[in-house]
Structure 1
Amino acid sequence: MAEIVIKQERPLVEELLGRYKGVIGKDFPGYRNHVYRTITYAMYFLDNDAAVEKLVETAFVYHDIGLWTDHELAYLEPSEAVALADNEKYGWGLDPDALRGAIHWHHKITPYTGPHARVIEACRKADWIDASMGTVHKGLSKATIREVEAAFPNFGFHKTLLRLAKDYGGSTLVGGIKVTRGIVKW
């Protein structure tokens, strides 16, 4: 396995996220850093393979975007739709099945073994690390996770998720149930 590589600047991520900065609003710094952390972890699991970096960067820019674009707690399908529409609109040429899969399966509890498994599984593990704030570490050392978190501070991202669950669900409990039912996959 390669060393963790922390890239402070990812021009593609900045370009893609920049299109949604106004929609994401005050939550932008937290979401941006969540995107950077997850890309960093996924690329580690992919041995920093440059051939899949554009796909991973794009998938993570869009993976939770439906929370803001569609105000949905079951945000996987809305996030997929925005990513696929932009892939077509801007002519990126990314494999739509791989892009959709990386977004759709990123909350899967068990390992993903279907088409595009290498990239999708790396993205799944990366998001679990960050969503759990390192409690689930998927083989990464706590020191490595702390290093990535120090490079890309949380800026209240996890509190944002709780706030959105309450705002969209009517209460944190009801929103949490809606989120769980809408995004967790087996």
Structure 2
Amino acid sequence: MSNISIKLERPRVEELLARYKSQIGKDFPGYRNHVYRTITYAMYFLGNAEEHESLVETAFVYHDIGLWTDYELAYLEPSEAVAIADNQKFKLGLDSDLLRGAIHWHHKIFPYTGPHREIIEACRKADWIDASKGMLRKGMSRAAIRDVEAAFPNLGFHNTLMRLAKDYGGSTLAGGIKVTLGIVKW
């Protein structure tokens, strides 16, 4: 057992994700668990500071949503647009620039050093941990990653990404190239 704090229930996440359940369809359980894993990792890097929880939860609900709302492999900007619109529509009260930044930079290869660095960097590291299935640990222990993965199993999420790359890109290779060019930031 590691020292990572794992919340099995997050009402904000459930409420926000529920609005997109039918659009996400059969991919919903895998995406939901990906969202929970990344939130857990990011909150660990933020010392589980409650003042960051709403932003982190919301950013991760929306960070990949453009895959399903816009059927787009270059999904960062569509995901940002949905998040910003919902932030206004549902009066979530989050800083739009910070919410946009957490989504926009979550695939950045090198550390983020701009405005809101602490939160955006925590989100960036969290997504890299999960995207790599724990091969990239960003300073997190293997035990902590194992505990999070046990609490929120993959449920085929990474296979979903490969399938969507093929479906939207014409082939896994072409889709993979389009994804890489559209979402990876230096």
- Answer whether TM exceeds 0.5 for this pair: yes
Q: CA deviation at 1:114?
A: 0.4
Where does residue 149 of structure 1 map in the other structure? 149
What is the CA deviation profile of residues 127-171 of structure 1, one whole-angstrom value per residue up to 9, with x for unaligned ones?
A: 000000000000111111011000000000000000000000000
Please show how residues 3-22 of structure 1 align to structure 2 within 5 Å: 3-22=3-22
The amino acid across from 1:130 in the alignment is D
Where does residue 43 of structure 1 map in the other structure? 43
What is the CA deviation profile of residues 32-87 of structure 1, one whole-angstrom value per residue up to 9, with x for unaligned ones?
A: 00000000000000000000100000000000000000000000000000000000
Where does residue 132 of structure 1 map in the other structure? 132
Moved over 3 A (4+): none
Where does residue 178 of structure 2 map in the other structure? 178
Structure 1: which 5+ residue stretches go unaligned? none
Where does residue 102 of structure 1 map in the other structure? 102
- The 3-state SS of whatever aligns with 2:80 is helix
For 2:74 and 2:176, the matched residues in 1 are separated by: 10
| Count of residue correspondences | 185
For 2:157 and 2:22, the matched residues in 1 are separated by: 17
- The 3-state SS of whatever aligns with 1:61 is helix
The amino acid across from 1:39 in the alignment is I
Please show how residues 20-169 of structure 1 align to structure 2 within 5 Å: 20-169=20-169
For 1:4 and 1:135, the matched residues in 2 are separated by: 18
TM-score by length of 2: 0.98
Structure 2: which 5+ residue stretches go unaligned? none
- The 3-state SS of whatever aligns with 1:48 is coil
The amino acid across from 2:59 in the alignment is A
Q: What is the alpha-carbon root mean square deviation over aligned residues?
A: 0.9
For 2:127 and 2:18, the matched residues in 1 are separated by: 21
For 1:33 and 1:127, the matched residues in 2 are separated by: 12
For 2:5 and 2:161, the matched residues in 1 are separated by: 27
